[in-house]
Amino acid sequence: MAKVVSLEGKRKAPSLEPLLALCADDMARVDREILHRMRSPVTLIPELANHLVGAGGKRLRPLLTVAAARLCGYAADDDRHVKLATCVEFIHSATLLHDDVVDVSVLRRGRPTANSVWGDKASVLVGDFLFTRSFELMVDVGSLDILGVLSRASSTIAEGEVLQLVTQRDISTPEATYLEVIKAKTAKLFAAAAEVGAIVAGRNGPERVALESFGMNLGIAFQLVDDALDYAGREAALGKTVGDDFREGKITLPVILSFLRGGAVDRAFWRRTIEKLDQRDGDLLQAQILIERNNALTDTFERARHYGAMARDAMGLFGDSPLKSALLEAVDFAIDRAH
């Protein structure tokens, strides 16, 4: 499968490091704000929240917010951009907590999920707490414009989660519906994260539109690659496990394309394993073979590159700078990570 993920002649694997280095001070403040805002006299709340939030994910979404703000010249001597980045991470964390309950997941980033340690009830309620805390943070920042962006994004995520639930295990889900789901549940928050960075920096014109578009397209590319990696057979990289989506009967693009392009025997296989969730030993390998045979993985990465290209182009109006380069490299990283 290595050929589908070739680096196309590039010398060095793209990395998130330049962006992380340029935003290190801001992100350290975001870390402190996260810890501060998780506090509660009800000790289960910081305990459970810290298990997830402190687990050291990439913090890609808050990183987008502070980077967008700085790219737009944010230089205020306050912490509004830090609060917004924290807010974005809390919205994301809340949805992860609820997702893991809904998906009955036991592992996330190689560690036990909060629901598997503290139970579904605690995860639902602490998720609610993080959701509401995120709104307190937005209100603190005090911009109705920003509140509009983030409240609409939150609502879209929730709508997307329900849409995903109702399309679950429906093998005839069209690609367009799949795209709606990943836009709503992933890309919309990337878009909002970048957009509010522009707004807090006072750039409400083309920069705001550009960053919203950058975030949206980056988010779509990111999720497409995530969904591809679930079948890519390279467990080691990123600590990502392979086959989770398959075992849950999740409808992702590799499966959709493989089903559409396959013959009667292939389709029967997908109906049994995904729709009926009747899975046997060797089925995951068989799924990977069918996906490979139908170029479904290659083309999922291809689709990701398309959105990645749009993300890059959206940045055209910004002048050259190390930060802009780092953001563009982050797009390449989102697509070429794990290779």
What residue ranges bind a second copy (CB under 8 A)? 40, 42, 44-45, 95, 98, 101-102, 120-122, 124-126, 128-129, 131-133, 135-136, 138-139, 142, 144, 147-148, 151-152, 154-155, 157-159, 161-163, 165-166
**CB of residue 138 vs a second copy: minimum separation in angstroms?**
8
Instruction: Indicate the SS3 state at residue 103.
Output: coil
Looking at the Cβ atoms of 28 and 166, the one nearer to a second copy is 166
**CB of residue 91 vs a second copy: minimum separation in angstroms?**
9
Backbone angles phi, psi at 112, to 5 degrees: -60, 140
Q: Are 264 and 182 in contact (CB under 8 A)?
A: no
In angstroms, rounded to a whole number, what is the distance separating the alpha carbons of residues 315 and 228? 26
**CB of residue 27 vs a second copy: minimum separation in angstroms?**
25
58-61: which pairs have CB atoms within 8 A and are 24 or more residues apart?
A: 58/16, 59/27, 59/30, 59/89, 60/16, 60/190, 60/222, 60/330, 61/85, 61/88, 61/89, 61/92, 61/189, 61/190, 61/193
**CB of residue 54 vs a second copy: minimum separation in angstroms?**
18
**CB of residue 86 vs a second copy: minimum separation in angstroms?**
14
Q: Are 67 and 23 in contact (CB under 8 A)?
A: yes
Looking at the Cβ atoms of 19 and 153, the one nearer to a second copy is 153
In angstroms, rounded to a whole number, what is the distance separating the alpha carbons of residues 253 and 174? 9
**CB of residue 264 vs a second copy: minimum separation in angstroms?**
31
In angstroms, rounded to a whole number, what is the distance separating the alpha carbons of residues 175 and 223? 14
Q: Are 155 and 163 in contact (CB under 8 A)?
A: no
Whole-angstrom Cα Rg for the chain: 20
Task: Provide DSSP, 153-218.
Answer: HHHHHHHHHHHHHHHTT-TT--HHHHHHHHIIIIIHHHHHHHHHHHHHTT--SHHHHHHHHHHHHH
Looking at the Cβ atoms of 152 and 293, the one nearer to a second copy is 152
Looking at the Cβ atoms of 151 and 286, the one nearer to a second copy is 151
In angstroms, rounded to a whole number, what is the distance separating the alpha carbons of residues 27 and 18? 13
Looking at the Cβ atoms of 147 and 338, the one nearer to a second copy is 147
**CB of residue 62 vs a second copy: minimum separation in angstroms?**
19
Residue 166 has a CB neighbour count (10 Å cut-off) of: 10
Looking at the Cβ atoms of 54 and 148, the one nearer to a second copy is 148
Looking at the Cβ atoms of 128 and 302, the one nearer to a second copy is 128
**CB of residue 304 vs a second copy: minimum separation in angstroms?**
25
Q: Are 198 and 208 in contact (CB under 8 A)?
A: yes
**CB of residue 68 vs a second copy: minimum separation in angstroms?**
21
Looking at the Cβ atoms of 106 and 165, the one nearer to a second copy is 165
Amino acid at 294: N
Looking at the Cβ atoms of 122 and 326, the one nearer to a second copy is 122
